[in-house]
Structure 1
């Protein structure tokens, strides 16, 4: 019994040493933008909700020229560009050209988003998803118009 307990302890301790403690480099001194938060409002069982993404562009990152959002198939919404609103940390509206094609939203910024900035992206008039584990959005960023999109994360909205 003592041998088994000791072996379990050693195995757990060894595993802890080999798992990197920086598996996600989501911090203010990182080099890639990341999703710092996402939420749904209202959080109760309302029929129409708003999904919000908060994007942080760290100090050591490049300027963001475009953000792409893959909207999950299970999400039904108005598909109107006026229902996608981008603001900065202070709540001031950010100039963004919004285009929608199928289940993809593209946000093109005439003035690139500087490092050290934070954005809030609201998608309004979404019908509440009632089945499954909740919608999962995938977000990508481009640093200049000709670059390849880089994944900046996924955002999952839980069902209540």
Structure 2
């Protein structure tokens, strides 16, 4: 009985060790469509003025990105000052971007197309949440070199705790 219990524990631990790395691994870089890798809010609180940060990943097999469109949720108020929107690369270098805000849509037009195998952080500063609700969901789409249509690439959800 004791021997079979030991075998069961060893089998469980070894299968967990084999399976666990797949949960911890990030997306591979062989995709064809840009996507949102992550999002954060600072400070992580319910009230006040926030900064919402999004990470755009342009994978290795993707085309270069010329524009990013961000649709802001109804329960969020963004600053109309375009100086409150920052775009930086992985090395914290500023990316030249023409920013325009039209109601609840933010258009980031890159002066030079964002090359494949690039990650950008987009900071929306001085965000205010008008009501609590169940959270805030942003939706994103891009325009790529040679393609005039908007390509939806995902959403980012900020839960209200």
TM range (shorter): 0.7 to 0.9
Pairwise CA distance, 1:63? 0.2
- For residues 158 and 41 of structure 1, the distance between their equivalents in structure 2, rounded to whole angstroms, comes to 13
Judging by fraction of residues, say which structure has more strand: 2
- For residues 144 and 151 of structure 1, the distance between their equivalents in structure 2, rounded to whole angstroms, comes to 15
Is the 8 Å Cα contact of residues 38 and 53 (structure 1) preserved in structure 2? yes
Q: Show structure 1 runs of 4+ deviating over 6 A.
A: none
1:39 and 2:40 correspond:
yes
- Taking the TM superposition and a 5 Å limit, the aligned residue runs for 1:117-128 are 117-128=118-129
Per-residue deviation, residues 75-114 of structure 1 (Å, max 9, x unmatched): 0122211111100011110000001101000000111000
Aligned residues, how many? Answer: 135
1:142 and 2:153 correspond:
no
Is the 8 Å Cα contact of residues 66 and 145 (structure 1) preserved in structure 2? no
Gaps of 5+ in 1: 1-25
- For residues 49 and 66 of structure 2, the distance between their equivalents in structure 1, rounded to whole angstroms, comes to 30
- For residues 139 and 115 of structure 1, the distance between their equivalents in structure 2, rounded to whole angstroms, comes to 18
| TM-score using structure 1 length | 0.80
Structure ID, larger Rg: 2
* Residue 14 of structure 1: aligned partner: none
- For residues 137 and 110 of structure 2, the distance between their equivalents in structure 1, rounded to whole angstroms, comes to 24
- For residues 146 and 59 of structure 1, the distance between their equivalents in structure 2, rounded to whole angstroms, comes to 17
- For residues 140 and 39 of structure 1, the distance between their equivalents in structure 2, rounded to whole angstroms, comes to 19
Gaps of 5+ in 2: 1-26
